[in-house]
Structures are given as structure tokens and as C-alpha cells.
Amino acid sequence: MNSRIKLLVIFNIIIIIIWISYLFSIQILDAHHLKSAVQIRQNPSKEILIPNRGNIYDRNNSLLVSSIKYYQLDIDRRVIVKNCKKKTDVNPADIFAKITQIISENSDVKKKVLLKRLNKNPINSSVYIATDISENQLHIIKQEFAKENIKGLVTSFSKIKRSYPHDKLGANFMGIIDDKCKNNSGNVIYTTHGKNGIEATYNSQLSGEVGWREMIYDANNQIIPLLFLKEKSAQPGQSIYLTIDKRIQEIVEENLLIGLKEYKAKNAIGIVMDPNTAEILALAGITKDHEKKSAKELRSVTDIAVSFMFEPGSTLKPITALLALEKGIYNPTDKIDCKNYHLEYESEERIIKDDHKFKTLSFKDIIAYSSNVGISKIVEKIGSKLLYERMIAMGFGHKTSSNISGEASGIFRKLKDWQGFSLHSISFGQEISVTALQLANAYCAFANGGNIMQPHLIKEIKDTKGKKVTSFKPRKLRSISDKKSLDTLKEFLMGVVDYGTATGTKIENLAIAGKTGTSEKAISGKIGYEEEKYTSIFAGFFPVKKPEYVMVIVYDEADYKSYAYYASLSSVPTFKNITKKIIDLPDSDIIVNIKEDNCNFIFAPDVTNMQLVKAIDVLQKKNIKYVIIGENQEGKIVDQYPKPNTSFNENEKIILNLDIKQESELLSVNNYIMPDLIGLTLRKAIAKSNRSNVKLVIKGNGIISSQSIKPGSKIKFGDICVITAK
């Protein structure tokens, strides 16, 4: 073999041995420690997926609370510098200027701050930009970066903030959230949790579940899409739908704020409930510094509507009155001596007096004029045991089971702890402390036929697809009293409004029942009462025949000098103002239904071809009003409207036509076109039909879904149309 060839073979063998040794050292011995780097590339990292917190809506699907995700922005300037080296016509300063423009125009970050950060040395590094970039802002910024073909944008989740479209509305019962970041196997997990209010009570439903996904990045820090990577989606929080009506909540809060200023009170409370279901339609507790405090501050404190305790005063008198009616102790017209009442118990003396001196009052008027003396004499015949048991049954001394954060139980001593004069004191609302919610729920029982219901603030819970997860149905806890006694008590409470201590509540066409209470404020931690400090209360419901609303208005320490501390001069007018606005809501049919209930339809008698004198005699005997058209007073009735045997309102007039010449004119005048009533509220439908002189027979409540006379049809005066409302 040629020596040159031998040398080449030996050289190749040496090269092969060296190469094999090198590969052995890399792959087997890992002399350069590359195995860990390979593992990093091959083993996926986990990215934590943060769920959206659930929304909160009112009963009519109006959004009250939502969530916004915020992100952190960083710019990897190394990528920008590297790209600029590849393109000689572009320099980093130009790219930084474009980045500054894009981010500043789509966020709150100022241009000067951005430029300073982007040009900070060393330039070949990553730089922090901002942490408060919303999801919408981030989407636009990413689009602009892609449009300009700018690389180096690095984003990461920052936090979740709650958004409140109506600012302070319902702030006290909404509550606030806090966030936490905890380290789990090297991954930072961000979670939100409610601190108080609805946010805390229903935190598990609102917060959702954290998710994750596996990620593998290449050398350029780009995600490699691989099929074997696993992922668990984040589960968004469920949405809460409240029983609150945003419109009524606004009305209550607005009027309480006005009252706070006008009556110079320390606190104001307003609660509106549906007595039949115990749904809370409005819940407001407002302090005198309400307007000075931020919405966040208001959300962070307990709602005084359920936590503030006060002596209910005379608003408790109906409980004693109801017991007396049930036991047949007194009839409504029975007279009771109401002069100053002198009491003695174990060498102690007490004189019970009324603000206004009375000699005698009927049982009904004791409630109407709020006589402490009268109710004290009545309660003596009832006794401590019965009164105590009824007070407990009505929910005093313990929470209402409403599940509202921060609710107080009130203060009501056990029967064994009552003292000598406790029976009398409790009968007119002393020696007991209640919350406005407890008082409102008690009056719901007066209104709904004696059912103690469980008050609730949550109507239903739905998932992100709108599917109902949980529904909160009305729950009756127990029953008290009987219909006859409750109906009589309603008459008593109507007397309070009609001629008693709450005449300032009266509203035309609307029957309201209620009771005022002006109670002294107990000295905290001591026996006795503070001077010139009172709690003013009015609790009532309407309409009395078919109650739809129960409302309690409370003012704490209203002005003494102007006499605003009297409930009749503070709580009563506020109750009235709120009531007027509630019944004026577009979908409220209260007044319409009352008028319909009070309407009496009769059939028109046939007086055609009768002499006028005889026709008038027939109509007068039936108490029917009439209008005569025509000059021939001695002639016969040519025609009448409504036609014979047509139903019409007894308060309307029959038109009697004496002149044949005017008949055709009258007929043309009284020919109308049937209006389209479908989709209207009852109030609007009645107003529209009145203009066309068509009579409506109404079935149901709500929005008109059908009508018996087709829209556009010709109708005549007095025609009847049956409408169905749902």
C-alpha cells in the first residue's frame, strides 16, 4: 500500500475516534452540561389562566358590577435592536417613537414617561412599560404592533378590577374584593375574594376556577404549537341576579340624600320589599358623609340598613293591637281611658304619658293617634308571655335568615329577664332594638295575610351561557294571626294615614297603611336616654287591598330644633315622595288597577222611542247621568249612545239624541278606529283606548299580549274590547 494512502487512512481513523469520543462525551458523559438545557426545552412550563369574576345584575338584567382584566406591558428592546441590524434603513429610535405613539394613544401612559423608559441604557435589555392596561386597550395595542410589524411586545396578566356602571348605587350591600398572589410549584396563582357584602357571601360562585396550559418555547422565545401539550380551561365565575330593582334603589337613595340634608340627620335608612315574596327591591343605608366618601369606601363598610339597631317606638304598637283583636279583648270602637297612667312596681313608680293629652280614645284611634297610655292598658290584658312569643315569632331578637353580610340580630331580652315595667315599655317599642330589615319583614306579615317570610336579596345565579344554576324561591317560615284580625288591623293602619299621625303620606287614589314611630335614643352602655336625640320611623305598605310594596324609612338623630325628629315631619314625607315615584314608573299598573277595581260597569237601558220626560225618569231611577242633544224637548228619543244593553262605566253619561238631522252627524262623530294596544302597559292602553271611547275589559297584569277587536277596525262609542295582559 502506498505510504501516502496509509497515512490518509490513519488520519481518518484518528478523526473518527476523536469524533466518536466527542459525541460520547456530549451524549453520554454530558461534559458540557447540555442535558439540563435540553430538558428545559422539552419539558413544558405551565401558564396559569385567570378566570373572569362573575357579574352582578339587578332583577331586570341591568348590569351593576362587572370585571375588567388588566395586563403588564414590557418591551424586549433586544429583539428591536436585532431587527434593526438586519434592516439598515431603520434605527431603534424610530421604532421607539412608533411604540410610544401606539401605547400613549391607547392607554393612560404619557409619552414623556414612555420615551424615557424606552431610551434608558443599556438599550439592549427588556424594559417595563405599565401594569394598568385593560383587556380592550391591550387588544388595540397588539393590533397596532402587528400592523406596524413591530416585535418585542411582552404581555403578562396583572390584576382584576371591578367596574361599577352606576358608581355609588347600592355600594353598601355590593361589597369589595381583594386579590391574592400565591406561589404554587414555581407558578404564581392570582385569585380574587370578596371581603364583605354580596362579594363575600357569594364569593365561591363569583370567583370561578383557575385554569392552566402547558407551553414550550423555542430559542427565540416563541411558543411551539405541539399537540401533546395539555390544557385545563379557566372556569369563569357565575353571575348573580339580585331581587333589587335598580330604578327603585335610585329613587330611595336619591330621596334619603335629600332627607339627610333637609332634616340634618346623622343616618338615613330605606328598605322596600315585596310583601308576598319577601324580595328586597331596595336596600339603602346612607350616612351624612355619604357624598364625601368615595364609592370604594362606601363598599368597604357594613350596610347600616341591616346592621344599625334602634328602638322601634310606636311602630311596634300594631303587634299588641293584633293580639288584642285575635283574642277578642277589644272591638275597634271600644273606648279606653287614655289619661296619664300611674304605675307602681316594688316601690318603683312610673307615669306613662302621651305627647297630646287624650281623655278617652277608641281602640282604633289609639293606633291612629299613637297613644302610649292606651296601648299600655291593652297590653296588660294580653300579658307578657303572649307578647313575648309573638315578638319572637315575628322575627325580633334573631337574624332574618336573609344571608346578607353584616346583618345584626337586634336586642330582645328573654322573658325571664323582663323587669317590672317591661311589658308596657315593649308594647310601645322601648327596651328592644331592631334593624330596619326586621321591621320591614314584620310589616310584610301584616300586608300578606300573616306569613313570616325569609327576606332575600338574590333572585337567581346563572353561568356564563345564561343557564340558571340556582333559583331562590320565596320561603315561608311560619304563619301568624288570622285573616279577620289582619283585615281589621289594616283598617287601623289606614286610619293612621287617613286622619292620624301620618296624614302627610296621603296620595290621591292610593290607599296606604302604616305606622309612625318617634323613639328616644338609649345612652350607649348606660341606663336612660339621650337628650334631644331621636330615631324617626315610618313603616307602611300599599296598596292596602292588594299590597305590592312594604317600605320602612328611618332617620337617625334628625334635627331637634326644627321638630324634624318627629316621624310625621321627616320619615312620612320621604315615604310619600318615594311612593309617588314608584307608582309613576312606566311599568307600574297600581293606579290603573285601583281605578279598574273601583269601576262599576252597568248596561245601558233602552230608552229609544220614549218621550224625553219618561226616558229621563228611567235613567234617574238607575242613577245614570245623561246628555241631551237636539231642540225638540217634547219629542221622542231618536237614538242613544251607548246603544241599548251595551256595558259602560256608571260614572259616564248616556247621550240622548232628539233630532233626526243630528243622528248622521252624531254617528260620524262617534265612529272611531280601534287602536293597537299590544305591547303597551295597562296604563298606556287605557289612556289610548279612552281617546277612542272604547271600553276595556282587562284580564291579567303587565304588558298587553292580545286584544279582542283587531287594530284598525271601525268601532263605535261604547264598544267593548277584551285585552289580555301578561
Q: Which of 19-28, 313-322, 638-647 has the highest mean pLDDT?
A: 313-322
306-310, 344-348, 617-621, 692-696, range with the lowest pLDDT:
692-696
Tell me the β-bridge partners of 171.
none
Residues 124 and 265 in one domain: no
Residues 540, 542, 548, 551: what is their CA dihedral angle, to the nearest 10 degrees? -30
- Most confident segment among 18-22, 331-335, 602-606, 649-653: 331-335
What cell does 58 get? 339587578
Residue 603: per-residue pLDDT: 81
Which of the given ranges, 19-23, 480-484, 598-602, has the highest pLDDT on average?
480-484
Please state the domain count of the chain.
4
Which comes out higher in pLDDT, residue 350 or 438? 438
Residue 312 has pLDDT above 60, yes or no: yes
Separation between Cα atoms, residue 123 and residue 629, nearest integer Å: 100
Compute the distance between CA of residue 327 and CA of residue 309 in angstroms, rounded to an integer: 31
In this prediction, residue 711 carries a pLDDT of: 85
pLDDT at residue 355, as a whole number? 84
Percent of the chain with pLDDT over 90: 50
129 in Cβ contact with 102 (< 8 Å): no
Q: Are residues 412 and 468 in the same domain?
A: yes
For residues 389 and 333, state if they share a domain. Answer: yes
Average pLDDT over residues 689-695: 68
Who wins on pLDDT, 455 or 721?
A: 455
Mean pLDDT score, 695-712:
80
539 with 420, same domain?
Answer: yes
Looking at the structure, do residues 682 and 535 belong to the same domain, yes or no?
no
Q: Which residues contact 16 (CB under 8 A, 6 or more apart)?
A: none
Q: Is the pLDDT of residue 663 over 50?
A: no
Q: Where are the beta strands (DSSP E) in 568-716?
A: 601-603, 625-629, 639-641, 647-649, 653-657, 671-673, 695-700, 704-707, 714-716
Q: What is the pLDDT of residue 185?
A: 55
Ranked by mean pLDDT, the top range of 437-446, 631-640, 716-725 is 437-446
pLDDT over 70 (residue 40): no
Which segment of 126-130, 222-226, 337-341, 381-385 scores lowest on mean pLDDT? 222-226
pLDDT tens-place string over residues 128-175: 998 889 989 999 999 999 898 888 888 888 888 999 999 999 998 999
Say how many C-beta atoms besides its own lie within 10 A of residue 261's C-beta. Answer: 11
Q: What is the pLDDT of residue 662?
A: 44
Neighbours of 435 (CB within 10 A): 29
Cβ 140 vs Cβ 121: under 8 Å: no
CB atoms inside a 10 Å sphere around CB 128: 11
Closest CA to 403 of 471, 312, 478, 306: 306
pLDDT band at 445, cuts 50/70/90?
very high
470 and 519 assigned to the same domain: yes
Q: What's the whole-number mean pLDDT along residues 391-408?
A: 93
Q: How confident is the model at residue 30 (pLDDT cuts 50, 70, 90)?
A: low
pLDDT at 665: 43
Residue range 629-639: mean pLDDT, rounded: 77
Domain boundary among 242, 276, 299: 242
32-41: average pLDDT: 54
Which residues form the domain of 15?
A: 3-43
Q: Report which of 388, 514, 366, 387 is spatially closest to residue 440, judged by C-alpha positions.
A: 514
What angle (nearest 5°) sits at the alpha carbon of residue 369, between those of residues 368 and 373? Answer: 115
Same domain, 519 and 407: yes
Identify whether residues 671 and 651 lie together within a single domain.
yes
Question: How much is the pLDDT for 126?
Answer: 87
The pLDDT value recorded for residue 22 is 75
pLDDT tens digit sequence for 350-379 = 899 998 888 999 999 999 999 999 999 999
Q: How far is CA 679 from CA 60, 704, 705, 725, in A?
A: 17, 5, 6, 9
89-111 pLDDT tens trace: 778 888 888 999 999 999 988 98
pLDDT of residue 88: 67
Sign, Cα dihedral of 525, 528, 532, 537:
positive
> What distance in Å separates the CA atoms of residue 564 and residue 266, rounded to the nearest whole number?
12
In this model, does residue 695 exceed pLDDT 90?
A: no
Note whether 178 and 167 are same-domain residues. yes
Of the candidates 399, 389, 392, 352, the one whose C-alpha atom is nearest the C-alpha of residue 372 is 352
* Whether residue 130 sits in one domain with residue 33: no
> Could you report the per-residue pLDDT of 591-626, keeping only the tens digit for each?
777 766 666 777 889 988 888 888 888 898 888 888
- Of 203, 220, 242, the residue at which a domain comes to its end is 242
Residue 328 has pLDDT above 90, yes or no: yes
Residues 227 and 325 in one domain: no
What residues form DSSP beta bridges with 626?
654
The neighbouring-strand residues paired with 670 are: none
DSSP classification of residue 221: S
pLDDT of residue 53: 93
pLDDT value at residue 666: 42
The residue among 624 and 275 whose pLDDT is bigger is 275
Q: Do both 216 and 342 map to the same domain?
A: no
| pLDDT at 667 (0 to 100) | 42
**pLDDT, averaged across the chain:** 86
Where residue 362 sits, what CATH number does that domain have? 3.40.710.10
Q: What is the pLDDT of residue 446?
A: 97
Which one of 242, 264, 299 terminates a domain? 242
CATH classification at residue 85: 3.90.1310.10
Q: Which residues contact 248 (CB under 8 A, 6 or more apart)?
A: 272, 281, 282, 582, 585
Taking the C-alpha atoms of residue 718 and residue 709, their distance in angstroms, rounded to an integer, is 13
What's the Cα-to-Cα distance from 339 to each of 342, 428, 499, 664, 693, rounded to whole Å?
9, 16, 21, 73, 58
Task: Indicate the residue type of 720.
Answer: I
Q: What is the pLDDT of residues 170-197, one digit of tens each?
A: 998 999 998 877 665 556 678 888 899 9
State the pLDDT at residue 690. 64
Q: Write out pLDDT tens, residues 518-556.
A: 999 887 767 778 888 999 999 999 999 999 999 999 999
211-248 b/e (C-beta count within 10 Å ≥ 16 → b): bbbeebeeeeeeeeeeeeeeeeebbbbbbbbbbbbbbb
Q: At 652, is the pLDDT very low, low, confident or very high (cuts 50, 70, 90)?
A: confident
What local confidence, expressed as pLDDT, does residue 712 receive?
A: 82
How far apart are the C-alpha atoms of 434 and 457, rounded to whole Å?
A: 19
pLDDT of residue 224: 65
So what's the pLDDT on residue 228?
65
Identify the residue with better confidence: 284 or 672: 284
Label residue 135 left, alpha or beta by phi (over 0 means left) and psi (-120 to 50 means alpha).
alpha
Average pLDDT over residues 568-589: 93
Cell numbers linked to 236: 369563569
Q: Which of 281-285, 479-483, 593-597 comes out lowest in average pLDDT?
A: 593-597
